[in-house]
Amino acid sequence: MEDAAARPSKQAKAEGADRISLLPDSILSQVITRLPTKDAARTAALARRWRPLWRASPLNLDDARLPRWSWDCISKILAEHRGPARRLRLRHLDGPNSIADLAEWIRSPALDGLEEIHISYRYDLLLPPCALRFAPTLRVASFARCRFPEGISPTLAFPRLTRLALTEVEISEDALHGLLSACSALRVLQLDWCGGFDRVVIDSPTLQSFGIVADSYVGELVIHYAPRLERLIAFDNFDIQVIRAPRLQMVCFLDSHKTTLHVGTMASRGISGGNLAMPLHSVKIFILDTVGPDLDAVLNFIKYFPCLEKLVITVILLIFLVAYSAE
């Protein structure tokens, strides 16, 4: 009886088994590709079963937990990994050497088939034109604090790109509209503090959400054709014209007294114009920033949103503190 009790049961052996390693390679690869880069590479030391998996799993290269300023580390990863690539995120690019290193990394075969790219410079540097080589496979892209290359080819196409964000990017108006026209599947677009253009025209049959924080040089925003656009968020001074956006449900304006809203051929200056002859029946949520409040003006304005369900008003109070000293 004692021998039987001391002998491990089959159930106990089963409970101590490495069940994760018994999973198919395809599932283990999906687990590895979602780990931080450093942890994913370490899985090769777990067991002989795991050794070849990291090099064959879709590469998730993120410099967040890599030794800072260690470009050799990134070069080594790209040299050892066989690809394909899922995501490339570089947040610490700095100085002229970064441009040369980045161009070399982007050309690496290990990044073939890249689905996500996130590149952020610390200074205003030129984005290597070769960064656009991933256009056929990209699904998500963001670029920050860089100058976008000029002369975007009219044949350039991003057939799978659904999310695009540009932050503090210098890009010409022609290059911006060329980039947007190349995104045939775009759903979410964010432009934050970008410069080099003073007019943005949205002409997209797929776009669902658009947000823009204006540079001081941007003045005109035209929603020319956006049949699926549901959310429009505009910060700062704009002359906004909405020509065709039948599904627009949420509108958010900051600095509303400086924003001019046109619907079709009619216009309203801030919240006090009250002369929109064409109601926006699709709008359900309206968020308004104002200096005031002027409730009569607000009520006069929102009557042009007859199907409104939610109204949010942010009031900025200007307080001046003046100190007087008596002699």
State the Cα–Cα distance between residues 113 and 297, nearest whole angstrom: 53
HEC sequence for the chain: CHHHHHCCCHHHHHHCCCCHHHCCHHHHHHHHHCCCHHHHHHHHHCCHHHCCHHHHCCEEEEHHHCCCCCHHHHHHHHHHCCCCEEEEEEEEECCHHHHHHHHHHHCCHHHCCCCEEEEEEEEEEECCHHHHHHCCCCCEEEEEEEECCCCCCCCCCCCCCCEEEEECCECCHHHHHHHHHCCCCCCEEEEECCECCCEEEEECCCCCEEEEECCCCCCEEEEEECCCCCEEEEECCCEEEECCCCCCCEEEECCHHHCEEEECCEEEECCCCCCCCCCCCCCCEEEEEEECCCHHHHHHHHCCCCCCCEEEEEEECCCCCCCCCCC
| pLDDT at residue 168 in the model | 92
Tokens of 27: 């599932």
| HSE, side-chain direction, 13 A CA sphere, residue 162 | 3
Q: Do the Cβ atoms of 49 and 21 come closer than 8 Å?
A: yes
- Tell me which residue has tokens 């010409």: 172
State the Cα–Cα distance between residues 206 and 183, nearest whole angstrom: 9
| pLDDT at residue 77 in the model | 81
| pLDDT at residue 1 in the model | 46
| pLDDT at residue 273 in the model | 42
Q: In what order do the strands lie in the sheet with 239-242?
A: 199-203, 220-225, 239-242, 260-263, 266-269
| pLDDT at residue 274 in the model | 41
| pLDDT at residue 206 in the model | 98
- Domain 58-197: assigned CATH number: 3.80.10.10
| The amino acid at 94 | D
Q: At what angle do helices 96-106 and 71-80 cross, to 10 degrees?
A: 10
Residue 254's closest CA among 234, 272, 273?
A: 234
Residue 200's closest CA among 228, 184, 181?
A: 181
Could you report the per-residue pLDDT of 256-301, keeping only the tens digit for each?
555 666 676 544 445 444 444 456 788 888 777 665 556 666 666 6
| pLDDT at residue 198 in the model | 87
Q: What are the C-alpha distances in Å from 280 to residues 32, 221, 277, 289?
A: 48, 18, 10, 19
> Residue 318 class from Cβ within 10 Å (0-12 exposed, 13-18 middle, 19+ buried)?
exposed
| pLDDT at residue 177 in the model | 95
Dihedral sign for Cα atoms in the order 171, 176, 179, 183: positive
Mean pLDDT by 10 residues, the chain (327 residues): 48 54 65 64 61 69 69 80 82 69 88 93 83 94 91 88 96 94 97 91 96 75 93 81 88 63 56 51 79 63 79 59 37
